[in-house]
Structure 1
């Protein structure tokens, strides 16, 4: 376990990684035509400039950028950042307090173009070495999300998430599993109450390079809702030895972590495939 509570986004993070990471972000519509969705996500984090301070920047294409400063303490974590995609950025701030086992925090987003708070969220979590449970109040207190993560079986993790919309009185849930096979291969599966099922296989080809293949479909209409995707992840981190060498005149080592993820998802409902074959 970590010595402190981390930052606000760490609440429920392990469950989100099992249930959502590397899957198609927007499930395709069965009535849609053939589509390609491509994203490039780059992230950089610099540590040790000031004790406890980290600088984080991210760029996502289609254009979506963010820069953020993070301060971590034994009993708390604070972040402050803003988006870079527009002339009138959205300013974010969050704070969390607690220990390595329990944390509670809040998150705010201020839209400078409207002069109003775009988001205000709150969450709490309890975690051990193999278990994490979290409860979050999102979307201006309109949505409640509860999640849990368990990894009591070696190389296997199970996660569940329940979402409830108060205004619409709608409830949905998602279940997912993750298992590490031999040779750096990870297999993930996911099922949701809306009928969508998904599976993912990720292979570590090199210590810094990962390749994943994913599929997503509506179980009620697989032939007209299937989506497949490929994602490549490149990671680079300055080692502890390099950090010590670069920071020989400093008390705290300077470190940098870089990651680049390129993803492409393809959707082509069966009725459009049949129409093409008839045309040809």
Structure 2
């Protein structure tokens, strides 16, 4: 919508994606179809441990509105509606879940060339209210977020962060958990590879976790990723496009400090004819 600093959630997002995105211990198969009218239908079969499940998701785009409906085997229906440009540089997102109506939420996002502001609230009598604000530019941005519980009249969270993004590199620092934790990350990229380092420190317990990882594009169809943290957790991932827009992802994780435990494996196959 604008060339502004992005959302508060974007601070540190590149590092998070490299270290967590597509890493999974589940088995998942999904197939999608779409029509020229903007209707997208996705069917997914999922296994989490010994638990099996399935879901059907439908997406439809009409002008500046995007409708998403997801139904799972537990008879839960999750619906979200996104309106873009209902006002200049503004996006609104409404979501609700049946039968759990207490999970309904309304969020409004405003984008400006030098700032972004979001406000979200549960659609119930005493809602939780989340507000974020980010100032700056695509190169450097400063942000803050706060959550307020209207039932207890207390702040449920308040965090601040800063991000610096330059060609082929990005650094960020987030002071979170009401000032009790610090997360610092750095990403260095090239045309075919990326390296990331992240330091997490819990101030109240003096706990430190260091994580390093990377991604390498073996060719235009295949990416490999790996990560290792100071607790001895080693993860690896293979992402391959077997057919145009059809992806198979194989991931695994092992605890190098307790090799007697079985490693965790995940498999995902996504077909998009």
Conserved 8 A contact 2:128-2:147 = yes
Answer yes or no: is 1:227 the counterpart of 2:264.
Answer: yes
Take 2:82 and 2:242, find their aligned partners in 1: how far apart are those partners?
Answer: 24
What is the aligned counterpart of 1:167 among 182, 204, 214? 204
Q: Does 1:102 align with 2:140?
A: yes
Deviation at 1:109, TM superposition (A): 1.4
1:133 and 2:167 matched = no
What's the Cα RMSD here? 3.3
Task: Output one character per residue of 1:203-241: Cα deviation in whole Å (capped at 9) or x when no partner.
Answer: 335665544221112012234152112345689xxxxxx
> For 1:173-212, what aligned pairs fall within 5 Å after superposition?
173-205=210-242, 209-212=246-249
Gaps of 5+ in 1: 27-33, 236-280
TM superposition shift of 1:80: 1.2
Report the count of equivalent residues: 224
Compare the two structures and name the one with the higher strand fraction.
Answer: 2
Contact 2:238 2:250 in 1 (8 A): yes
State the alpha-carbon separation in 1 of the partners of residues 117 and 111 from structure 2.
Answer: 7
- Separation in 2 of the partners of 1:59 and 1:220? 43
| 1:79 match: secondary structure | strand
Name the counterpart of 1:218. Answer: 255
Of structures 1 and 2, the one with the larger relative CO (CA 8 A, separation 6+) is: 1
Unmatched runs of 5 consecutive residues or more in structure 2: 27-48, 58-69, 71-79
Q: In 1, are the aligned partners of 2:25 and 2:265 still within 8 Å (CA)?
A: no
- Does residue 146 (structure 1) correspond to residue 184 (structure 2)? The answer is yes
Secondary structure of residue in 1 paired with 2:14:
helix
Partner Cα distance (1:23, 1:44) in 2: 28
Provide closer, same or farther for how the CA distance between residues 175 and 56 of structure 1 changes in structure 2, counting only shifts above 3 A. Answer: farther
2:113 is the counterpart of 1:74: yes
Q: Counterpart of 1:48?
A: 85
| Cα distance in 1 between the residues matched to 2:202 and 2:171 | 20
Give TM-score scaled by structure 1 length: 0.69
**Mean alpha-carbon deviation: is it higher for 137-146 or for 201-210?**
201-210
Provide the residue aligned with 2:18 in structure 1. 18
Q: Decide whether aligned partners of structure 1 residues 232 and 117 sit closer, same or farther in structure 2, where only a CA change above 3 A counts.
A: farther
Give the Cα separation in 2 of the matches to 1:115 and 1:233.
45
Mapped partners of 1:195, 1:232: distance in 2: 28
CA drift of 1:79 comes to 1.0
